[in-house]
Amino acid sequence: MSRIDKRFADLKARGRAGLVTFITAGDPDHDTCARLLAQLPVAGADVIELGMPFSDPMADGPSIEAAGLRALANGASMKTTLKLVTDFRKKDNDTPIVLMGYFNPISAYGVDKFLVDAKAAGVDGLIVVDLPPEEDDELCIPAVKAGIHFIRLATPTTDAARLPTVLQNTSGFLYYVSIAGITGAAAADPDAVGKAVALIKQHTKIPVAVGFGIRDGKRAAAIASVADAAVVGTALVERVAEAQMKKIDPAEHVLELVRELSTAVRGVAKAAA
């Protein structure tokens, strides 16, 4: 059983949803990011999404785009991103790590080399925003053969006719984007999300994590009540920028919010398996 499968099975047995946290690799710099990454599970992150810095994102709002640019300006690359995972795994062999981003940096690194190095580093899954199911031969199928989950996005515009195609070759969990737009653009509506998750679960048994538009504990708890996990990204990377302005420790400023989110999510009781 993979780390992701094991983590969601454990969450179900415990009768609670999970907290998925997103940070950008190398933001604001490699050493601070490494320190933050190591402490995320301690603060309550159940699954970690690590953004692969890219100069031309399509689905990311200004905050995550700025995080990527900060990281790139400080020397972040695919090589340093994978080193972050390698170093994390020296002390944590349980918390799933999913790399999230775009195909361009992977293609530039070389797909075959990327999959070998990502697996060796301890990467558990990939979310590649700009590769639709029609392009599965490019990365999805090779990744699955390499033992790395390929996690697909579904959105409010994904209708019942399209959903089976989206779910094809998707494993680990499905990432449901709660709003029609970029990250951080609007707040998630728990009622609408609940109806969407219920529809998705008519087509699949894999867990459904919901992200985009979740900024605080109250909304994370509301999403946790209707989904298998709540994903928070923009609010966390904005904390890095805030910390730099206030000249305080970015890692601790992010972890403070992760603790709040984790407490809220863990406070939502669900039926145990």
List residues with catalytic annotation.
49, 60
CA dihedral sign, ordered 35, 233, 56, 136: positive
Q: The tokens of 270 are what?
A: 């669900």
The residues, any chain, with a CB within 8 Å of residue 120's CB and separated by 6 or more, are: 86
Measured at the CA of 130, the angle between CA 129 and CA 132, to 5 degrees, comes to: 100
Report the greatest alpha carbon distance in the chain: 50
φ, ψ for residue 125, nearest 5 deg: -160, 165
The amino acid present at 187, given as its one-letter code, is: A
